[in-house]
C-alpha cells in the first residue's frame, strides 16, 4: 500500500497523542534508556581509554636483560639467538656497556660530573627485548632469566598487569549493569505500549471492522517505542558529549602525559552507535507488546 | 453476492452457534435476520467479516471463499462490508465529522477523498449541521445516523446492521429504517439483524429466521417470527 501524506500525518498525530497521555511512564522509559546508555557510553569510553593508555605503556615497555660480566662475543651472540627464539619476542637489540654509560651521561645532563671519578665502567652489557603483546612479557621474562649468561631481568610488570585487570573488570561490570538496565528499558517500553494498546482497544476493534491493515494498526505503537528510544539515547549522547569533552580538557591541562581518546571519528561512531542502540531498544520493546497484546 | 453453503460453527467452548445453514443473498437485497438471542445472528455476521472461521461449510463473498483469504486480504474484504452496531461504537473524543472521516483515514484515503465523501455521507444521513459535535452531544438516533454514515462513507457493497434500533425509541427507529431503505435503493445490499417485529411486519421484505443455530424460515416477503 502506498503511504499517503494523510496516513503519515495520522501516524504522527497518534504517536504524539499517546506519548502525552502516558507522559509520566514515557518519562520513566526515556530516563531508563538515558541512564543505561549513559553507563554504556561511560564504560566504553573507560575501556577504550584504559586500553589506549595500556597500549601506550606497552609500546614503551620492554624487558631489560642484563648480562654477566666477561662473556665472550660468541656467547653473547648465542644468547641473542636464544632470546630471539622465545615465543612472542618481537625485537632484540644489544646495548653495550659503553652505550649504556653514554646514555646515562646524556640522561644526567649537567650533573654528569658524578661519573667523572669512575675509572671503570660499572654497567653491564644488556639486551632490550620488545614483545609482540604485553601479556607475554611475564612469561618471556621468566624464560629469559633462566638462560645461561643472564645476570638479571627487569620489566614494568606491575603496571601492565594492573591496567589489564582494570580493563577486564570494567568490561565485566559494564556488561552486567548494561544488560540489566537494557532489560529494564525493554520492560518499561513494552509496558507503555501495552497500556497504549489497552487505552485504544475500542479504536482498534473499530479499525479492524473498518478494514485497516494490520500494519496500519501497529505502526503508531511501533513509532511510539521508537520515539522513546530515540529521545532516551539522544539525551544520553548529549550528556556524554559535553561531560567527556570537559573531562578531556581538564586532563589535558592538568595531567597532559595521560593520552586520552579524542579521535572525533571514533567518538562520532560511539555516539551514533548509542543512538542506534536506543532505537533498537525502542523497536524491540514495542514490537514485543504489539505482538503479544495486539491481536490483529 | 453472499453464499452460505452448509455452514456450521462450533465455538471452542463447545457452543454450537450455527448448524448447517445454507442461504444466498443477491446484490440489492434487503434482508431481515430474525431469531431469539443466541440464535446465531451475530455468528453469521462474524463469519462474513472473518472474525470467526466456519467449522464446516463455506462462506462465499463476491466469489471468494472467506475462510481461504490470506491475512493481508482480510482488510480488503472488510472494506467491502459496512457494519452498524447496536451500541453505535463511535469514538467519544472525535467529532461526528472525525468519526466518519476515521473510516477513510484508516484505509489510507487521501485528504481529497475525505473532504468530498464525508460531507456527502453526513448529508445523506441528515447530520450535516451537527458534524462538529461530539457523540455525547447527540441523541441516540443521531449517534446511530453517525454510525451509519461511518459505515457507508467507504461505499461498501454490503451493509450489516446488528439490531440498529435496539437502543432507540419507536419514532427514531422508523426514521432510521427509512434511511436504511434509502441506502438500499442507492444500491447497497443490507442485512439487518433485529428483534423489531413491527418493522419487519410492516416492510414485508425478505426474512431469514434462525433458531438454535438452524435456519427455520426464508421468505421473500416475510413477517416476524421464528417458530418454524
Please report, for chain A, the start and end positions of each structural domain, with discontinuous segments joined by +: 10-57+161-293, 62-155
Report CB contact under 8 Å: A211, B75: yes
| Angle, helices B96-105/A201-210, rounded to nearest 10 degrees | 60
Q: Chain B within 8 Å of A206 (Cβ-Cβ)?
A: yes
Contact partners, residue B42, CB within 8 Å, separation at least 6: B162, B193
For the beta carbon of residue B165, count every other beta carbon within 10 angstroms: 24
Write out the three cell numbers for A281: 531498544
For residue A58, is pLDDT > 70? no
A186 touches A288 (CB < 8 A): yes
Q: Chain A within 8 Å of B187 (Cβ-Cβ)?
A: no
Report CB contact under 8 Å: A211, B107: yes
User: pLDDT tier at A36 (50, 70, 90 boundaries)?
Assistant: confident
Q: How far is B214 from chain A (nearest CA, A)?
A: 26
Q: What angle do CA B81, B153, B174 make, to 5 degrees?
A: 85
Report CB contact under 8 Å: B103, A5: no
Distances (CA, A) of B213 to A238, A246, B42, B43, B216: 65, 77, 11, 9, 9
Q: Chain A within 8 Å of B89 (Cβ-Cβ)?
A: yes
Per-range mean pLDDT, top range of A31-45, A51-65, A117-131, B84-98: B84-98
Domain assignment present for residue B107? The answer is yes
Q: Please tell me the predicted confidence (pLDDT) of residue A114.
A: 74
Report CB contact under 8 Å: B108, A209: no
Element containing residue B163 per DSSP (H, E): none
Q: Chain A within 8 Å of B14 (Cβ-Cβ)?
A: no
Instruction: Give pLDDT tens digits for B26-54.
Output: 999 999 999 988 888 989 999 999 999 99
Collect all residues of chain B within an 8 Å Cβ-Cβ radius of residue A207.
106
Domain assignment present for residue B106? The answer is yes
Nearest CB to A212 within list B77, B91, B107: B107
For residue B178, is pLDDT > 70? yes
What is d(CA A229, CA A182) in angstroms, rounded to the nearest whole number?
A: 11
Task: Give the chain A residue whose CA is nearest to the CA of B75.
Answer: A211
What is d(CA A83, CA A127) in angstroms, rounded to the nearest whole number?
A: 9
What is d(CA B30, CA B161) in angstroms, rounded to the nearest whole number?
A: 11
Average the pLDDT over A32-59 and give the result: 80
Write out the three cell numbers for B123: 448529508
Considering only CA atoms, which of B173, B118, B175 is closest in space to residue B150? B118
Distances (CA, A) of B56 to B22, B35, B53: 11, 22, 9
Task: Give the chain B residue whose CA is nearest to the CA of A207.
Answer: B106
Question: What is the SS3 assignment for A195-260?
Answer: HHHHHCHHHHHHHHHHCCCHHHHHHHHHHHHHHHHHHHHHHHHHHHHHHHHHHHHHHHHHCCCCCC
Domain assignment present for residue B18? The answer is no
Instruction: Give pLDDT tens digits for A117-165.
Output: 777 788 888 888 888 876 777 788 888 888 888 888 887 666 767 777 8
Q: B189-193 and B30-34: which strand pairing?
A: parallel
For residue A63, is pLDDT > 60? yes
Query: Number of structural domains, chain B?
Result: 1
Domain span at residue B105 reads 90-154
| Angle, helices B111-125/B96-105, rounded to nearest 10 degrees | 130
Instruction: Give pLDDT tens digits for B50-65.
Output: 999 999 999 999 999 9
Domain assignment present for residue B162? The answer is no
Third-level CATH fold of A62-155: Alpha-Beta Plaits (3.30.70)
Q: Please tell me the predicted confidence (pLDDT) of residue A1.
A: 43
Q: Please tell me the predicted confidence (pLDDT) of residue B151.
A: 96
Report CB contact under 8 Å: A6, B108: yes
Report CB contact under 8 Å: B110, A10: no
Q: Which of B100, B105, B118 to mutate to test the interface with A (most CBs of A within 10 A)?
A: B105
CB contacts under 8 A, B 59-78 vs A, are 71-72, 75-78
A165 touches A50 (CB < 8 A): no
Task: Give the chain B residue whose CA is nearest to the CA of A17.
Answer: B93
Report CB contact under 8 Å: B79, A206: no
Domain assignment present for residue B145? The answer is yes
CB contacts under 8 A, B 104-123 vs A, are 105-111, 114
Domain assignment present for residue B109? The answer is yes
Instruction: Give pLDDT tens digits for B124-166.
Output: 999 999 999 999 999 999 999 999 999 999 999 999 999 999 8
Amino acid at each position: 500500500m502506498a503511504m499517503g501524506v494523510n496516513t503519515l500525518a495520522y501516524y504522527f498525530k497518534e504517536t504524539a497523542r499517546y506519548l502525552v497521555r502516558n507522559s509520566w511512564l514515557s518519562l520513566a522509559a526515556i530516563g531508563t534508556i538515558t541512564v543505561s546508555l549513559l553507563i554504556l557510553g561511560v564504560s566504553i569510553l573507560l575501556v577504550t581509554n584504559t586500553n589506549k593508555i595500556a597500549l601506550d605503556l606497552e609500546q614503551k615497555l620492554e624487558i631489560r636483560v642484563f648480562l654477566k660480566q666477561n662473556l665472550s662475543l660468541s656467547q653473547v651472540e648465542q644468547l641473542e639467538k636464544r632470546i630471539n627464539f622465545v615465543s612472542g619476542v618481537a625485537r632484540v637489540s644489544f646495548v653495550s656497556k659503553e652505550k649504556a654509560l653514554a646514555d646515562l651521561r646524556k640522561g644526567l645532563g649537567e650533573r654528569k660530573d658524578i661519573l667523572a671519578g669512575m675509572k671503570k665502567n660499572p654497567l653491564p652489557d644488556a639486551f632490550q627485548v620488545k614483545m609482540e603483546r604485553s601479556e607475554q612479557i611475564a612469561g618471556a621474562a621468566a624464560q629469559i632469566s633462566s638462560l645461561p649468561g643472564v645476570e638479571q631481568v627487569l620489566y614494568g610488570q606491575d603496571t601492565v598487569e594492573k591496567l589489564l585487570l582494570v580493563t577486564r573488570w570494567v568490561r565485566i561490570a559494564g556488561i552486567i549493569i548494561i544488560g540489566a538496565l537494557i532489560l529494564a528499558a525493554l520492560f518499561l517500553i513494552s509496558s507503555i505500549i501495552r497500556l497504549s494498546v489497552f487505552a485504544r482497544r475500542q479504536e482498534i476493534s473499530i479499525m479492524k471492522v473498518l478494514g485497516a491493515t494490520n500494519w496500519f494498526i501497529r505502526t503508531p505503537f511501533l513509532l511510539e517505542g521508537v520515539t522513546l528510544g530515540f529521545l532516551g539515547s539522544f539525551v544520553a549522547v548529549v550528556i556524554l558529549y559535553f561531560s567527556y569533552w570537559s573531562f578531556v580538557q581538564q586532563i589535558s591541562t592538568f595531567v597532559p602525559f595521560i593520552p586520552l581518546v579524542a579521535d572525533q571519528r571514533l567518538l562520532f561512531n560511539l555516539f551514533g552507535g548509542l543512538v542506534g542502540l536506543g532505537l533498537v531498544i525502542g523497536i524491540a520493546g514495542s514490537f514485543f507488546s504489539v505482538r503479544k497484546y495486539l491481536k490483529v | 453476492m453472499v453464499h452460505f453453503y452448509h455452514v456450521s460453527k462450533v465455538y471452542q467452548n463447545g457452543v454450537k452457534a450455527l448448524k448447517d445453514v445454507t442461504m444466498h443473498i443477491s446484490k440489492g437485497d434487503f434482508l431481515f435476520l430474525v431469531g431469539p438471542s443466541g440464535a446465531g445472528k451475530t455468528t453469521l455476521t462474524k463469519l462474513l467479516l472473518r472474525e470467526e472461521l466456519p467449522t464446516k461449510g463455506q462462506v462465499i463473498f463476491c466469489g471468494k471463499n472467506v475462510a481461504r483469504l490470506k491475512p493481508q486480504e482480510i482488510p480488503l474484504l472488510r472494506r467491502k462490508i459496512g457494519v452498524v452496531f447496536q451500541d453505535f461504537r463511535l469514538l467519544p473524543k472525535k467529532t461526528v465529522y472525525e468519526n466518519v472521516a476515521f473510516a477513510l483515514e484508516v484505509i489510507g484515503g487521501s485528504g481529497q477523498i475525505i473532504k468530498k465523501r464525508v460531507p456527502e455521507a453526513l448529508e445523506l444521513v441528515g447530520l450535516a449541521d451537527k458534524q462538529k459535535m461530539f457523540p455525547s452531544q447527540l441523541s441516540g438516533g443521531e449517534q446511530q445516523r453517525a454510525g451509519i454514515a461511518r459505515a457507508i462513507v467507504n461505499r461498501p457493497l454490503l451493509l450489516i446492521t446488528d439490531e440498529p434500533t435496539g437502543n432507540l425509541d419507536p419514532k427514531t427507529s422508523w426514521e432510521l429504517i427509512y434511511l436504511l431503505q434509502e441506502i438500499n435503493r442507492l444500491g447497497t445490499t443490507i442485512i439487518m439483524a433485529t428483534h423489531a417485529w413491527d418493522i419487519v411486519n410492516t416492510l414485508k421484505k425478505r426474512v431469514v429466521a434462525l433458531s438454535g443455530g438452524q435456519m427455520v424460515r426464508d421468505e421473500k416477503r416475510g413477517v416476524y417470527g421464528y417458530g418454524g
